[in-house]
Amino acid sequence: MRTHFAVTPPFDTTPVSACGRGRRLDFNAFHIDCGNCTKSDPFILALDEAKSAKHALFMAQEPRLMREPWHTEVVYIICKECGHNLFRMGDRTCYGHYQDYVCGRCGNKESRLTETGMSF
């Protein structure tokens, strides 16, 4: 079942889908998988706003020391490109099995296995 982008028409409080077909609606642009909705102008604008807000929140993070997971002693992550040790927390990749840490100096991504990935 496809998830459609919810649009609230003017002078109405009931949301409808952007393509006019679906019943399963969502206002979050990252959850939409209807091909017709993804081509609509309201969706494109909402996706651009969501991406820029996500990037602004990421850049607002203060780079900090990140510990290596799965080590009993205190070991910090070090960037393989520039040797810097301050990172921002990025998104999880591969269905949540890897956590991305982005270097605060050069922007290189360092990925580490999470608890979800260890459960395989």
Residue 36 sits in the same domain as residue 16? yes
Residues 8 and 53 in one domain: yes
CA distances from 22 to 16, 42, 101 (A): 8, 16, 38
Tokens, residue 100: 């991305």
Regarding whether 107 and 66 lie in a shared domain, the answer is yes
Range of the domain at 22: 4-59
Per-residue model confidence (pLDDT) at position 32: 94
Same domain for 55 and 35? yes
Whether residue 67 sits in one domain with residue 113: yes
Confidence (pLDDT) at 95: 64
Count: domains in the chain = 2
pTM metric for this prediction: 0.74
Q: Do 30 and 51 share a structural domain? A: yes
For residue 52, pLDDT beyond 60: yes
| In a shared domain, residues 65 and 80 | yes
How far is residue 67's CA from residue 45's CA, in Å, rounded to a whole number? 38
